[in-house]
Structure 1
Amino acid sequence: MSENTLKWSYLFTLSLIWGSSFILMKKALIGVTPFQLGALRTIFTALILFTVGFKYVKTIDKTAWKWVALSGVFGSLIPAFLFAIAETEIDSAIASILNSLVPLQTILVGFAVFQISSTKRQVLGVALGFIGTALLVMEGADLNPHQNYLYAGYIVLATVMYAFNVNIIKSHLQHLKPLTIATGNYVVIIIPALIVLLLSGFFESSRLQNPELKMALVYVFILSFFGTALAKVLFNKLIKISTPVFASSVTYVMPIVALTWGFLDGEGFSVLQGLASLVILLGVYLANKKA
Structure 2
Amino acid sequence: MDASKLKWFYLVLLSLIWGSSFILIDKAMNGLSSIQVGALRIVITAIFLFSVGLNKVKLIKRSQWKWIFWTAMAGSLFPVFLFAIAQEQLDSSVASMLNSLTPLNTVVFGVLFFGVVVTKRQVLGVLIGLVGALVLVFAGADFNPSQNYWFSIFVLLATIGYGLNVNIIKKYLNDVNALAIVTGNFVIIIVPGILILAYTGFFAEVMESKEMQLAMGYITILSLFGTAIAKVIYSRLVQISSPVFASSVTYTMPVVAIFWGLLFGERLSVYQVLGGIIILTGVYLVNKRVKTTTK
TM, length-normalised to structure 2: 0.97
| Aligned twin of 2:59 | 59
- Structure 2 runs not aligned, ≥5 long: 291-295
Return 5+ residue gaps in structure 1 as ranges.
none
The answer to whether the Cα contact below 8 Å between 1:202 and 1:208 also exists between their aligned partners in 2 is no
Which SS does the other structure have where 2:146 is aligned? coil
Distance in 2, matches of 1:201 and 1:119, equals 51
> Residues 21-170 of structure 1 correspond to what in structure 2 (within 5 A)?
21-170=21-170
SS of the residue corresponding to residue 117 of structure 2 reads coil
Once the two structures are superposed, what CA deviation does each residue of 1:135-163 show, in whole Å capped at 9, x if it has no partner? 10001111111111000000000000000
Task: Tell me which residue corresponds to 1:277.
Answer: 276
Query: Residue 44 of structure 2 aligns to which amino acid in structure 1?
Result: F
**% of aligned pairs identical?**
52
Deviation for aligned residue 1:60 = 1.0
Structure 1 letter corresponding to 2:254? P
Contact 1:182 1:232 in 2 (8 A): yes
1:171-190 mapped onto 2 (5 Å cutoff): 171-190=171-190
**Counterpart residue identity of residue 174, structure 1:** N
Name the amino acid aligned to 1:223: L
| CA contact 2:59–2:177 (8 Å) conserved in 1 | no
1:261 aligns with 2:228: no
Provide the C-alpha distance between the structure 2 equivalents of 1:210 and 1:141, rounded to a whole number of angstroms. 34
Shift of 1:195: 1.1
For 1:120-147, what per-residue CA distance to the aligned partner results, in whole angstroms no more than 9, with x for missing partners? 0000000000000001000111111111
Letter in 2 for 1:109: F
- Distance in 2 (CA, whole Å) between partners of 1:58 and 1:253 is 35
Q: What's the CA shift for 1:210? A: 2.0
The CA distance in 2 between the partners of 1:56 and 1:2, in whole Å, is: 24
Q: Once superposed, which parts of structure 1, at least 4 consecutive aligned residues long, lie more than 6 Å away?
A: none
Question: Do the aligned residues in 2 keep the contact of 1:106 with 1:244 (CA within 8 Å)?
Answer: yes
Preserved contact between residue 39 and residue 196 of structure 2 (Cα < 8 Å): yes
Deviation of 1:175 (Å)? 1.6
Separation (CA, whole Å) in 2 of partners of 1:117 and 1:37: 38
TM superposition shift of 1:208: 3.8
Q: Deviations over 1:37-57 (max 9, x none)?
A: 000000100010001110111
How far off is 1:2 after superposition?
2.0
Q: Which amino acid aligns with 1:265?
A: F
Counterpart-to-counterpart distance in 1, 2:276 and 2:235: 27
- 1:27 positional shift: 0.2
TM-fit CA distance, 1:265: 0.6
Preserved CA contact (<8 Å) 1:67 1:173: yes
Q: How many Å apart are 1:274 and its aligned residue?
A: 1.1
CA apart distance, 1:118: 1.2
Give the corresponding residue for 2:220: 221
Q: CA 1:68 to 1:210, structure 2 compared with 1: closer, same or farther past 3 Å?
A: same
Residue 290 of structure 1, CA deviation: 3.7
Q: Greater CA deviation, 157-166 or 271-280?
A: 271-280
User: Is the contact between residue 125 and residue 284 of structure 2 (CA under 8 Å) also seen in structure 1?
Assistant: yes
Shift in Å at residue 21 of structure 1?
A: 0.0
What are the Cα deviations for residues 238-259 of structure 1, in whole angstroms up to 9, with x where unaligned?
0010000000000000000000
TM-score w.r.t. length of structure 1: 0.98
Amino acid at match of 2:169: I
AA aligned to 1:248 is S
Output the CA distance in 1 between the equivalents of 2:278 and 2:45.
34
Q: Could you tell me which amino acid in structure 2 is paired with residue 93 of structure 1?
A: S
CA distance in 1, matches of 2:112, 2:207: 46
Q: Does the aligned pair in 2 maintain the 1:102–1:163 contact within 8 Å?
A: yes
What is the CA distance between 1:204 and its match in structure 2?
A: 3.0
The number of residue pairs the alignment matches comes to 290
CA distance in 1, matches of 2:124, 2:225: 35
CA deviation vs aligned residue, 1:11-40 (integer Å, no higher than 9, x gap): 000000000000000000001111110000
Residue identity in the other structure for 2:173: L
Whole-Å separation in 2 of the counterparts to 1:197 and 1:215: 17
